[in-house]
Structure 1
Amino acid sequence: MAAHRHPCVGDLTYGADPTLAKRLRLTRQWLHAVRLGFEHPGDGQWAEFSCDYPDDLRQALGQVREETYA
């Protein structure tokens, strides 16, 4: 994503904003899908998976939402 000038939040190696990462207390890349779907290569059936955000990313997202809509 950094090559497209959209680095992952928290990915300081590839150009993420260190101030934002520090403010959100992120020590890793924001690299997580809450929903992922694809055509299974073995049988062609649609497969879809979902899960909640991990605690650190959920808290960071909540903080960004609060700052945005405050």
Structure 2
Amino acid sequence: MTILITGATGLIGTALSKRLLDQGHTIHFLTTRKEKILNTPTHKGYYWNPTIQEIDLLAFTDVSCIVNLV
């Protein structure tokens, strides 16, 4: 299952991401910091800027579930 997590780079989001990855899920996450963007087969980061309402819509590709930790 592919899961989109907002707040994935925070304390809870990091722990949740690790657990879900260990269970075989794919993680997509949104970040406002381009240097935190990852691109591995199972853990992909996407840039968003809420100030100007910019988001990479590819973050939602094949997503079955969204977890909002922001």
Q: Shorter-chain TM-score: what band?
A: 0.3 to 0.5
Return the structure number with greater strand share: 2
Structure holding more helix per residue: 1
TM-score, L = length of structure 2: 0.33
Q: With the length of structure 1 as denominator, give the TM-score of the two structures.
A: 0.33
Q: Which has the larger radius of gyration?
A: 1
- RCO higher in 1 or 2 (8 Å CA, sep ≥ 6)? 2
